Amino acid sequence: MSDLSMVFEGAAGQGVQTITRMLLPVLKNCGHHVFACTEFMSRIRGGSNTTEIRVTEKPRQAYVRRIDMLFALSPKAHEHLDRRIDADTLVFAESEQCAVPAKGNCIETPVKALALEAGSPVFSNTVVAGMVLGLLAIPPEELDAFLHDRFQEKGEEIVLKNIAAARLGFEWGRKCPAAGSIKLPRIEFGGSAAELLMDGTAALGIGVVAAGCNFISSYPMSPSTGLLTFLAEKSDAFGVVVDQAEDEIAAINAGLGASYAGARAVVTTSGGGFDLMQEGVSLAGMLELPLVIHIGQRPGPATGLPTRTEQGDFNLVLHAGHGEFARVVFAPGTLEELIHLAQRAFAVAHRFHIPVFLLTDQFLLDAETSMEAGAIHRFPLEEAIVETGKEYLPYLFTEDGLSPRGVPGYGAGLVRADSDEHSEAGFITEDFDVRRRMVEKRLARLGPLREQALMPTVTGLIDNARTLVVGWGSNRGVIEEALDLLGDPRVAGLHFSQLFPLNPAVASLLGERKLIVLENNPTGQFAGYLAIETGKNIAGRILKATGEPFSVEEVLEALRKEVGHE
Amino acid sequence: MSDLSMVFEGAAGQGVQTITRMLLPVLKNCGHHVFACTEFMSRIRGGSNTTEIRVTEKPRQAYVRRIDMLFALSPKAHEHLDRRIDADTLVFAESEQCAVPAKGNCIETPVKALALEAGSPVFSNTVVAGMVLGLLAIPPEELDAFLHDRFQEKGEEIVLKNIAAARLGFEWGRKCPAAGSIKLPRIEFGGSAAELLMDGTAALGIGVVAAGCNFISSYPMSPSTGLLTFLAEKSDAFGVVVDQAEDEIAAINAGLGASYAGARAVVTTSGGGFDLMQEGVSLAGMLELPLVIHIGQRPGPATGLPTRTEQGDFNLVLHAGHGEFARVVFAPGTLEELIHLAQRAFAVAHRFHIPVFLLTDQFLLDAETSMEAGAIHRFPLEEAIVETGKEYLPYLFTEDGLSPRGVPGYGAGLVRADSDEHSEAGFITEDFDVRRRMVEKRLARLGPLREQALMPTVTGLIDNARTLVVGWGSNRGVIEEALDLLGDPRVAGLHFSQLFPLNPAVASLLGERKLIVLENNPTGQFAGYLAIETGKNIAGRILKATGEPFSVEEVLEALRKEVGHE
Amino acid sequence: MSDKQTRFDMPPHTDVAWCPGCGNHMLLTAVKEALDDLGIDPRQLVMVSGIGQAAKAPQYINANMFNGLHGRALPAALGIRLSNRNLVVVVESGDGDMYSEGGNHFLHAIRRNFDVTMIIHNNMIYGLTKGQASPTSPIGMRTPVQVKGVIPEPFNPLAVAIALDAPFVARAFAGDIAQTRSVIAEAIRFKGCSIVDVFQPCVIFNKLNTYKWFREHTCSLPEDHNPEDRMAAFALAIQHEPLPLGIFYRNGKRALYEDQAGITETPLYRQPPPGDDEFEKLIDAYR
Amino acid sequence: MSDKQTRFDMPPHTDVAWCPGCGNHMLLTAVKEALDDLGIDPRQLVMVSGIGQAAKAPQYINANMFNGLHGRALPAALGIRLSNRNLVVVVESGDGDMYSEGGNHFLHAIRRNFDVTMIIHNNMIYGLTKGQASPTSPIGMRTPVQVKGVIPEPFNPLAVAIALDAPFVARAFAGDIAQTRSVIAEAIRFKGCSIVDVFQPCVIFNKLNTYKWFREHTCSLPEDHNPEDRMAAFALAIQHEPLPLGIFYRNGKRALYEDQAGITETPLYRQPPPGDDEFEKLIDAYR
Ligand SMILES: Cc1ncc(C[n+]2csc(CCOP(=O)(O)OP(=O)(O)O)c2C)c(N)n1
Ligand SMILES: Cc1ncc(C[n+]2csc(CCOP(=O)(O)OP(=O)(O)O)c2C)c(N)n1
Ligand code: SF4
Ligand code: SF4
Ligand SMILES: [Mg+2]
Ligand SMILES: [Mg+2]
């Protein structure tokens, strides 16, 4: 087996995430590539949530529909996962806890009994983790350190009981007749590729901290709150000012006030909260203030499906805020890209004095993956603040439209920022000529922004390809894997992690190839934009809007259809 | 002379609008076509504002840069109007009040002296109106009725003094040596074309009232406040509930609450206020509630130029609100279209249960024009509310995606509206399949909306034309007039008053002609959209972003350049 | 939880997404019973809410529902009432929803004094988004965002409402269903803007303000409290320890917005559009 | 208007867009003189405002300026203060700006208690948009939108501020430059969130609340008023006739947000980014 998919199902509050939290480091430390993704309901208790863990031969960052091993821990498991269970799925479930699914290869699994044997039903998750280790023939000692760390607060007794629970699970797993049929993938040479393990939110947070971010004001909103929490946790260590705003309008205006005063500011939100920030985006454009805006996308309209995933906010950010001014939109596709593009977002925002968007989504933010430490880079910070002179003009006309950036209290000058159309000094004006020049000033930077725009990443051999599968944001992993499985040299992939502006070289890269755009929204927003910008025809769109991520299987199937492999 | 252009300049608060208010009905009643437009600063007193009155042989709805007669009443006139004064301009000014412009044909004009002669400087505006009548050889009695109506509140004495002031002005004008050089345009046969006289805001208001609108909640914002004021004034006569909201967010949510309860609701705002409404737009999409949203455009970003004009909000409304759902965007080009499209906006919103946008701008809303009463139509109202049965499902799946619309309190059923993804009954759901179908339901109506979309209006003979000048919204008048003056049969005009969705027949109407798009924004927003939707290439863009309307002269010049007449 | 059946009950087996033990369950019971006590017809009732755990309440009540945007229940309620004043409009939402995202509407709804009852599930926490501070969270409370503890002064909805001369201001504790039910019934009966802030334990995220804590830190209003005495009401509203429960303030003198604004009994959906003659008259003004 | 020269004066011939006779001119004088009295360095002062006639005030003061969005002065001021606590931050804006569009921020700025002075030009009208009702317009006032007269209860900023335990709450009348200047100086000197609501006649759109009206309907606070007495302050704040002027309430006990949030003296623009070693440590946690 080159690819093992395990799914852990449970009600909200049952803590099945602890199982994955136990298993992922163990698997990673054994030298495996691991990837996990999560889907959950908008409730705190009850319902049916799952986490999928993939152990793979090659690094993968995608969701598969197929389940090799399912631990079904809630009564709703069957109903929720029916579509994903097939005859090959090993279903571990306890008939007492959970209606055993009709399909699949069911194995009666005494989770509760063993937990009780260890002392209490609260040990259930640890029992399951032990079972998995037993089934996969991984030494149970690998778990001990984790159990120590996690439970030491609660006292030595609890730690020991957890260790005992894990051992009970392990023994059961080891002896389970199914054990023989589950094989872990081969470990890559050296077995140390996977040094780091983190989730998308942490990757984003690391990038933001690396960028020297020192201010966040935001209002909680799934799935974007993680960045606020991350920075709050790191606030002392990294000197980040953290303010929970009363609403999103306050958040972005506080961010802009901070930016005006010289902070490196970020705000985080999701589509609905971002709607409320749009006037602030327009203000950033007018005042020429750097600001990084993170949008964790989720399915709309309105409240929609608050805990699920979609890529529906591209058009929204592209045109957010009334009036015209320059902006940049990034959409990282992997956790590495999250770290890198968060840094780039700050660099671009501060070099060009503009709002810069980071588009992620629930799938990417909650995805957990192992990665090479060497693949993570820190980019040097550019400092762009000048000491003002007595005659400082915050909106000085210059050739490239960028005026030296002063901040209040630093230098002999005064810094005036005015949301009305303004003179070079920052005062309100109604002079038509100044107006015209200011409009041009605010747009002129799109020239260099285009030239410096990131090119898309190619998967496969583009020179031979007659078809290009185009994706953006969180779909990088699923496209790469599907193309790998498709193994058709006539088809290559192209992943955009910068969506706006596009590099002028993109058009020639696309050439005359057939373009298939894949995105997780109902109309193909980026496809439409790519067509205008490059003048190319989009031959096909692979779209989705159910709230679920694309699975490798469905993409493969869709590609087969598109390229006629059926 | 087939076209006379008079400009009245004065400081804010000086009341020069009274002059146009006196003259326009007089001119109209003489059988002339009149058009007036206004530009003013964002202040209540001081500065330099102007109104232009055009008396034209043919009906015209456009601004001309040329000034035949200028009454310069404030000290800032020269500075403000320098660009528009040429050797042919007759400048009427009083050296005591106003620095006499260097250029132009200056005529010392004793406004203050005559006003004092009539009793007080407050009669200045009446004196000027009288002067104009004298210069144009229109009997001064034509003014008397107006002066009666306007001043009767203040007593008979004031009325008589105003009449006297008008006579003094008239006498001066009649005797003025310049009088001979000013000729009024020929009056069309019958002389009664111009039955009505109103401004854009009134036209919009009339359309909204005609549409059966009975609810408005809005927050003041130039240039959109006029609709709120219009409906407030008519609230008793037409049973319109009027609520001044605490902010724009409240306004749109109140509008949606009202719509849910069965009202025919409108909200009015401008770009910045609309930014704040976007989450509400998304809610309208999700709840499938009809709502008409009027946006009086003004130059952004941020506060921008609050009292000036621009067409910068097309992209904004096209993508407003997170998530995807159907919408319609209208942009009336004349006062007649304002009346008709306001009605159509309500009809479409209520037929399809969607938000519908009416895009206007300061230029159009403040423009005043004479028009034929016969050209104004009232469209019948469709009623779409059903009495609910016991098993009423507000989001019932149907073939065309439209569910019968019930309202609370009417029928045996319950009406549940949920901003979360919901079941047919309106309850929160996370069922992926229901989600998919609901997304499709909300978008399906775009099919019929496209089929029913208004086709653009053609100016000239399109069959012979090799070039098409495309415009939208308030630029209809200026394009029509410029094409008329250009008089080139190879060039025709196309005016879109429905911007989204486009009728599928538009592409073939465009054919292979060279397309020049004219719009008052810095990047050509509609041009970009037209290109994607029709797959056509846009050969040229005539753009502007100074805060001023396009003038006939500059459009003519630009067209000459584009079609090689230079 | 009481087992009384009400006409506002949902079918059995309705999936309620709240956690077991949450104060919301009791508050829901109190609301349904209060509505039942008043003999309201479910078809004439609109339950309006924003987004949050509390805001799900209308999903579990057999009535019309407008479950709108986070923080925006009140403007929607206003639009509904002004369009049809025969409807009973009850807003039920959370402390974050009503006092943070919706703070501005809270002020201006009270200023208007239209007939609405606000029931605020005050659990002093953001439940649905997993435990950040709400405007009513106590100073010092630690959360994943407030890592050093909450800093701002808790929002005092009663004091602010009394400062705005809200005509009906009350507080209840969800743990006491009977009293909550009677306060809510009074509030709904009251013609005008009535506010009932209800202490509601969140058993998952708020480990400070538990059932026990509320029992220990609340008391009844003094027996002799005169709810028409605004100063006394204010003094009790700013009292910290213990926190009184009951009807703090009543002002029967404020005019009803609907009456002042000339809202008639005819719902807007029944209002005939202007006739052609009326339309002609409108146009005539521009001749 | 006084002719005192201050270091906050703009060059002569600066075009001031306010109407002749407007109360804004006097208030501007009072503000500049108060700033001058305090010996503040214009380069260390940021004047923050929203949009409106009042909100133009910073355009006429020789200092740094953040003239942001309508209603959003306070969050911007917060961002500025938290990024550089050496700056003196003064918010100057209108009654519509601060109490209507910005009402939510008014509540939550007070809750935080960061060091900011709010000067609200309360002309009881929307000036810049030509005369619609503001939240403080008196009941019954007719405007082009409020054709039947204003219905809602006027917003009482002082009572609400005191209900929120705002630590410095005052009212002044622009017609009295000397007193306004001294109250504003006190407010700026106060470390924390201070609110000065200033009655400001709009000579164009508000024909009710004229200079004369304000003179006839205001009085000084009672000599013996103790501003630390919250109940007394509240009683005076809800007093209608006459309307007292002066410092209603002071609460020196509230902690400063900046201190609680650990904001250091080093402005954020000077703060070095994390070193490579710190960055390594951050990553290490994920090994
Ligand atoms: C505009 C917007 N911002 C943020 C959110 C995310 N959100 C949903 S509920 C909620 C807060 C819930 O707190 P509360 O109102 O106290 O309700 P509770 O869950 O505690 O009952 C937030 C911030 C949202 N849905 N919409
Ligand atoms: C989001 C937004 N909504 C509305 C406006 C329009 N607007 C500008 S100033 C103003 C009100 C001004 O009133 P106030 O704050 O009292 O100031 P004043 O002019 O009376 O001094 C309004 C509604 C705006 N600029 N932005
Ligand atoms: S999270 Fe808290 S408020 Fe929400 S349902 Fe659970 S206990 Fe109740
Ligand atoms: S409109 Fe009123 S507030 Fe504005 S400047 Fe004129 S007098 Fe002052
Ligand atoms: Mg809460
Ligand atoms: Mg005001």
Tell me the ipTM for this assembly.
0.98
Same domain, B272 and B415: no
Residues B271 and B313 in one domain: yes
Q: What is the mean pLDDT of residues A513-535?
A: 96
- In terms of domains, do A268 and A399 share one? no
The answer to whether residues A504 and A424 belong to one domain is no
- Mean pLDDT in residue range C196-223: 98
The reply to whether D127 touches chain B by the CB within 8 Å rule is yes
Chain C residues near residue B381 by CB distance under 8 angstroms: 273
Whether the CB-CB separation of D71 and D254 falls below 8 Å is answered with no
Residue B436 shares a structural domain with residue B461: no
Q: Please report the pLDDT score of residue A187 as a whole number.
A: 81
pLDDT at A531 over 60: yes
**pLDDT digit string, tens, across residues C103-151:** 999 999 999 999 999 999 999 999 999 999 999 999 999 999 999 999 9
Alpha helices by DSSP H, listed for C164-217, are 177-189, 211-217
Q: What is the average pLDDT across C261-283?
A: 94
Each residue of B52-78: pLDDT tens digit? 999 999 999 999 999 999 999 999 998
Q: How far is CA A219 from CA A557, B6, D106, in A?
A: 40, 55, 17
Residues of D in contact with A428 (CB under 8 A): 17, 56, 59, 67
Indicate which CATH number applies to the domain containing A90.
Answer: 3.40.920.10
Q: Which residue of D has its CA nearest to A209?
A: D274
- What does B484-513 look like in DSSP terms, one character per residue? HHH--TTEEEEEESEEESPPTTHHHHHTT-
To the nearest 10 degrees (0 to 180), the angle between helices C103-112 and D103-112 is 120
Q: What angle do CA D69, D72, D76 make, to 5 degrees?
A: 100
Name the CA radius of gyration of chain B, rounded.
26
For chain B, the average pLDDT equals 95
Question: How many residue contacts between A and C have a Cβ separation below 8 Å?
Answer: 68
Of B209, B215, B252, Cβ closest to residue C83: B215
CA separation for the pair A557, B396 (Å, rounded):
32
pLDDT tens digits for range A75-96: 999 899 999 999 999 999 998 7
Q: With contacts defined as CB-CB under 8 Å, which chain C residues touch B412? A: 43
Q: Is the pLDDT of residue B188 over 90?
A: no
Q: How confident is the model at residue B191 (pLDDT cuts 50, 70, 90)?
A: low
| pLDDT (0 to 100) of residue A384 | 84
Handedness of CA D18, D19, D24, D28 (dihedral sign): positive
- Chain D stretch 137-156, residues whose beta carbon is closer than 8 A to a beta carbon of chain B: 144-147
Q: What is the structure's pLDDT at B100? A: 60
Helix A124-136 × helix A16-29 angle, to 10°: 30
CA C154 – ligand 3 centroid, Å: 20
Adjacency order of strands within the sheet including B3-12: B105-108, B90-93, B69-72, B3-12, B46-56, B33-39, B368-371, B196-199
pLDDT for A565 equals 58
Whether the per-residue pLDDT at A56 is higher than 90: the answer is: yes
| The pLDDT value given to residue C139 | 98
Q: Which residue in C46, C91, C112, C164 has the most chain B C-beta atoms within 10 A of its own C-beta, making it the best mutation to test that interface?
A: C46
Whether residue C83 and residue B261 make contact (CB cut-off 8 A), yes or no, is yes
- The candidate with the shortest Cα–Cα distance to B10, out of B83, B74, B68, is B74
Predicted confidence band of residue A99 (pLDDT cuts 50, 70, 90) = low
Residue C133 near chain A (CB below 8 Å): yes
- Residues in B lying within 8 Å of D, measured between beta carbons: 13, 41-47, 219-222, 225, 228-229, 232-233, 235-236, 242, 244, 246-247, 272, 302-303, 306
Which residues in chain D are contacts of A209 at CB distance < 8 A?
274, 279, 282
What mean pLDDT is predicted for residues B389-412?
Answer: 97
Please report which confidence band the pLDDT of residue B2 belongs to, taking 50, 70 and 90 as the band edges.
confident
Buried b (16+ CB within 10 A) or exposed e, D158-183: bbbbbbbbbbbbbbbbbbbbebbbbb
The answer to whether residue B380 is domain-embedded is no
How far apart CA A422 and CA B454 sit, in angstroms, is: 40
* Residue A174 included in any domain: yes
Mean pLDDT confidence for B451-455: 98
Whether C51 has a pLDDT exceeding 80, the answer reads yes
Window 242-271 of D: residues touching A by CB (8 A cutoff) are 261-264, 267-271
Contacts of the segment C37-44: beta carbons below 8 A, 24+ positions apart: C37/C181, C37/C185, C38/C185, C38/C188, C38/C189, C40/C88, C40/C188, C42/B414, C42/C7, C42/C8, C43/B408, C43/B409, C43/B411, C43/B412, C43/B413, C43/B414, C44/B408, C44/B409, C44/C86, C44/C87, C44/C88
Looking at the domain assignment, is residue A380 inside a domain? no
| Ligand 2 site, residue B303, Cβ cutoff 6 A | yes
Q: Which site among B248, B305, B430 would you substitute to test the A interface, given the most A Cβ atoms closer than 10 Å to its Cβ?
A: B430
Closest CA to A12 of B428, B423, C205, C199: C205
Per the document, the length of chain B is 566
Choosing from B163, B188, B213, the residue where a domain stops is B188
Q: Do C274 and B210 touch (CB under 8 A)?
A: yes
Which residues have a Cβ under 8 Å from the Cβ of D103 and sit 6 or more positions away? Answer: B246, B247, C103, C104, C107, C108, D71, D135, D155
Residues of D in contact with B239 (CB under 8 A): none
Residues with CB under 5 A from ligand 6 (ion): D 94-96, 123, 134
Q: What is the pLDDT of residue D1?
A: 45
The structural domains of chain C, ordered by start, are 23-284 (3.40.50.970)
The greatest distance separating any two alpha carbons of chain D, rounded to the nearest whole angstrom, comes to 74
pLDDT at B211 over 70: yes
pLDDT reported for residue C1? 45
Residue A140 included in any domain: yes
Q: What is the pLDDT of residue A191?
A: 54
Window C:86-125, CB contacts with B under 8 Å: 86-87, 104-105, 107-108
Residue C208 CA from chain centroid, whole number: 23
C59 has pLDDT over 70: yes
Contact C145 A242 (CB under 8 A): yes
Pairing of strands B540-543, C45-49: unpaired
Contact A253 D286 (CB under 8 A): no
DSSP-based three-state secondary structure for B199:
strand
Number of A to D CB contacts under 8 A, please give it.
Answer: 190
Rounded to the nearest 10 degrees, what angle do helices B225-233 and B200-210 cross at?
60
For residues A463 and A479, membership in a common domain is answered with yes
- Assigned domain for A502 exists: yes
Asked if B255 and B353 sit in the same domain, the reply is yes
Residue A36, φ and ψ in degrees, nearest 5: -135, 145
CA A421 – CA B303 distance, rounded (Å): 7
Burial class (CB in 10 A: 0-12, 13-18, 19+), A110: middle
Task: State whether the beta carbon of D63 lies less than 6 angstroms from ligand 4.
Answer: no
CA distances from D244 to B537, C33, C89, D122, D201 (A): 69, 47, 38, 15, 17
How remote is the CA of residue D127 from the centroid of ligand 4, in Å? Answer: 5
Percent of chain C clearing pLDDT 90 (strictly above):
98
Q: How far apart are CA C216 and CA C230, in angstroms?
A: 26
Give the nearest partner residue to A212 out of D75, D107, D273, using CB atoms.
D273
Q: Ligand 3: which of C125, C205, C206, C214 to mutate, most ligand atoms within 8 Å of CB?
A: C205
pLDDT value, residue B96: 74
Q: Where are the alpha helices (DSSP H) in D129-275?
A: 157-163, 177-189, 211-217, 230-237, 257-260
Task: Give domain status of residue B293, yes or no.
Answer: yes
Judge if A182 and A250 occupy the same domain: no
Q: Which residues contact D3 (CB under 8 A, 6 or more apart)?
A: none
pLDDT per residue as tens digits for the range D76-129: 999 999 999 999 999 999 999 999 999 999 999 999 999 999 999 999 999 999
Answer yes or no: do A14 and A154 share one domain.
Answer: yes
Say which CATH number the domain at A500 has. 3.40.50.920
For A366, the 3-state DSSP assignment is helix
User: Quick one: which H or E segment has residue D93?
Assistant: strand D88-94
CA distance readout (Å), C209 to C174, C199, C202: 12, 9, 8
Question: Is the same domain home to B399 and B368?
Answer: no
A139-148, A163-172, A339-348, A391-400: the lowest-pLDDT one = A139-148
Calculate what percentage of chain A has a pLDDT beyond 70.
97
Structure tokens at C274: 């202007």
State if residue D16 touches ligand 4 by the CB under 6 angstroms criterion.
no
Ligand 3 center to A151 CA (angstroms):
25
b or e along A127-138 (b: 16 or more beta carbons within 10 Å of the residue's beta carbon)?
bbbbbbbbbbeb
The H-assigned helical ranges of B211-311 are: 225-233, 235-238, 248-260, 271-287
Is C151's CB within 8 Å of D257's CB?
yes
The mean pLDDT value of chain A amounts to: 95
pLDDT of residue D163: 98
DSSP D97: I
Q: Which two tokens stand for residue B155?
A: 């007593």
The position carrying tokens 């109106």 is B129
Average pLDDT of the residues in A535-540: 94
Clarify whether residues B249 and B172 are in a common domain.
no
Domain that holds residue B419: 385-452
Measured at the CA of A239, the angle between CA D65 and CA A269, to 5 degrees, comes to 70
**How many residue pairs bridge chain B and chain D with CB atoms within 8 Å of each other?**
68
Structure confidence at residue A226 as a pLDDT band (50, 70, 90)? very high
Residues in chain B with CB shorter than 8 Å from the CB of C104 are 246-247, 249-250
Q: Which atom of ligand 4 lies nearest, measured to the CA of D131?
A: 1
**Nearest CA, atom 4, ligand 4:** D127
Name the residue of chain D whose CA is nearest to B216's CA.
D145
Considering B188, B212, B236, which residue would you say is the last residue of a domain? B188
Q: What is the pTM of this model?
A: 0.98
Examine the domain organization and report whether A247 and A314 are in the same domain.
Answer: yes
CA distance A204 to A358: 10
**Nearest C-alpha neighbor of D132 from the set B524, B219, B95, B241:** B219
Partner residue opposite B301 with nearest CB, options A41, A299, A325: A325
- The per-residue DSSP string of B24-42 comes to HHHHHHTT-EEEEEEE--S
D92 CB near ligand 2 (under 6 Å): no
Q: Is residue B90 part of a domain?
A: yes
Ligand nearest to the CA of D205: 4
Q: What's the total number of domains in chain B? A: 4
Please list the ranges in chain D whose pLDDT falls under 50. 1
Rounded CA-CA distance D189/D29 in Å is 18
Tokens of C117: 């009852």
Q: Is D199 helix (H, G, I), strand (E, B) or coil?
A: strand
Return d(Cα B478, Cα B481) in angstroms, integer: 5
Q: Extract the tokens encoding A315.
A: 């058009």
Domain containing residue A223: CATH number:
3.40.50.970
Interface mutation target, options C15, C263, C269, chain B, most CBs of B under 10 Å? C269
Calculate helix-pair angle for D230-237, C230-237, nearest 10 degrees: 140
Q: Which of B395, B427, B452 is the last residue of a domain?
A: B452
Tell me, yes or no, whether B230 lies in a domain: yes
- Residue B221 banded pLDDT, cuts 50, 70, 90: very high
pLDDT tens for each residue of C19-40: 999 999 999 999 999 999 999 9
- Residue A31 and residue A191 in contact, taking contact as beta carbons nearer than 8 Å: yes
